[in-house]
Amino acid sequence: MKGIAHFASGLCVAAFVPGVVEQAAQGGLLIALGGACAMLPDTLDFRFAKFVERRDADLIPDRAHPDPQALAEAFAREFARVTPDRPRIVQFHPLRLGVVDWVTYAVRFDVAAGEVVVTMGDEEGRAHVGRLDYPYDGALEVIELGGPSLRLSRGEQGYRIDFLPWHRQWTHSLVLAAALGAALGLLLGPTAGLVGGLGYAAHVLEDQLGYLGSNLFWPLTRRRFEGLRLLHAGDAIPNVVTVWLSLTLLLLNLDRARDVPLIATGPFLGFAVLLPVAALIAVYARRKWRRYAASWRAERNRDAIAEGTDAVG
């Protein structure tokens, strides 16, 4: 989810805590604490955890001759250096040639073939590494502002590849949400503790809908739990749905706190909340199904071509 979606959901969750809406009507800012705490996990990641990650290798195209094949082979050599008790963290970088002139590229994984693939413009480089366990999907773009880091390790399904190993680890923990709530409760009172803890937990649970997952019970666990793979963080419709749902429910809670509510709860929930949300989810599900069907047909065609090639050979 984008930051605005997390912030909106934090406000919404805070509005369900008894006394918060009434306090906001008197000019209090306790409701804003929910939104702030809902943004805190990513703030900690992108302002702190990202910069303290210890990397084992930095991969960048050769300045004299940027070659995707050479980069793919260099990446494959990093897999060969992985041992069962010693994973490696690899960081990809673009090549800067001038003030606004960069060499950018994309990295993806052909799990069926056990290959890493680097695409640079119209050129492509491939290198074989063996069985791959890659829970994310899509190509990884290495653009002007930088590229992603990957954690390579040995697993039961072959080489395990974890995308952005510094992200959604200790910061995205329900245990940490409870600890934050307890700390805020001691400092600002039990209502503030409940608002802050629930706002933080809302962010963690929302992120679990995606592909990357979160380390839900750090420090009791050390690895991210698999996400539900229902959406991508940058997908427009899920973010719009989250913001719309959060703000409409927030509006309803604010109205219910009035001496004489102006909104009819039933029709509002039906026509202003559930109907638009259901329509947007239906559109999103249809698009996802089309992409899945296209991917399945492409995979089936590749298998048919491969079988035909084997038969001819």
Q: For residue range 202-249, what is the model confidence (pLDDT) as tens digits?
A: 999 999 999 889 999 999 998 899 899 898 888 999 999 999 999 999
Q: What residue spans define the domains of the chain? A: 3-51+169-263, 57-163
Backbone angles phi, psi at 276, to 5 degrees: -65, -40
CA angle 50, 160, 131 (to 5 degrees): 145
- At 169-196, the pLDDT tens digits run 999 999 999 999 999 999 999 999 999 9
Please count the helices (runs of H) and the strands (runs of E) in the chain: 10, 11
The DSSP H or E segment spanning 41 is: helix 30-44
Q: What are the angstrom distances between the C-alpha of 38 and each of 192, 201, 216? A: 13, 7, 15
At residue 185, the 3 state secondary structure works out as helix
Q: What is the pLDDT of residue 309?
A: 43
- Calpha distance 296→148 (Å, rounded): 27
Residues above pLDDT 70, as percent of the chain? 94
Residues in the chain where the model's pLDDT stays below 50: 302, 304-313
Q: How far apart are CA 116 and CA 73, in angstroms?
A: 8
Q: In degrees to the nearest 10, what's the CA dihedral of 7, 12, 15, 18?
A: -110
